[in-house]
Amino acid sequence: MRALAILLTILFATVFLSASSLKLPQPPPVPSEWKPIKDLKAADVAAVAEAAVKQFNDKLPAGSKEQLKLESVENGDVKVFDDGKSVYRFHLKTDTNGGVGPGKVQLYEVVVGVADDKSGEKMKQLLAFLPVLN
């Protein structure tokens, strides 16, 4: 009986130690709440907004006369994840025709994901670019 108890103790210790050395999957990053962007004219905010407009324009057919030009960031929020990634949500005022000639001013709701790449540069990925209906 004592030998069985020792054997079970050794077996339990072996299983416990091997299980504790396993790499368990990490939980997904936890986002914060949406927080208003305090300085809509800050360089990092402008860079994200410009990247969104550029990525939108890049998806238009070649020679399209509907190229947009960023006029201003009207409002915005940011959600920061604990892994350093962030998501920006803006209302951008744009001018059609890329500012060439009289264009139509339009407001868009834009969502952009931002993360660091291996070189430390900020990667910006356009997630949504939708007109705001009046």
108 by Cβ neighbours in 10 Å (0-12 / 13-18 / 19+) ranks as buried
pLDDT, residue 29, reads: 62
Tokens of 129: 């670019």
- State the amino acid at position 122 in one-letter form: K
pLDDT, residue 82, reads: 80
d(CA 48, CA 122): 9
Tokens of 77: 């929020």
Q: Could you tell me the residue ranges of all domains in the chain?
A: 29-131
Q: Give start and end residues of each alpha helix (H) in the chain.
A: 2-20, 43-58
Domain 29-131 has CATH 3.40.50.720: no
Other CB atoms within a 10 A radius of the CB of residue 93 amount to 15
d(CA 27, CA 35): 23
Tokens of 35: 């927080």
Closest to 130 measured CA to CA, from 56, 61, 44: 56
Torsion of the alpha carbons at 53, 49, 55 and 83, rounded to the nearest 10: -160
Ranges of the chain whose pLDDT falls below 50: 20
**R_g (Cα) of the chain, nearest Å:** 25
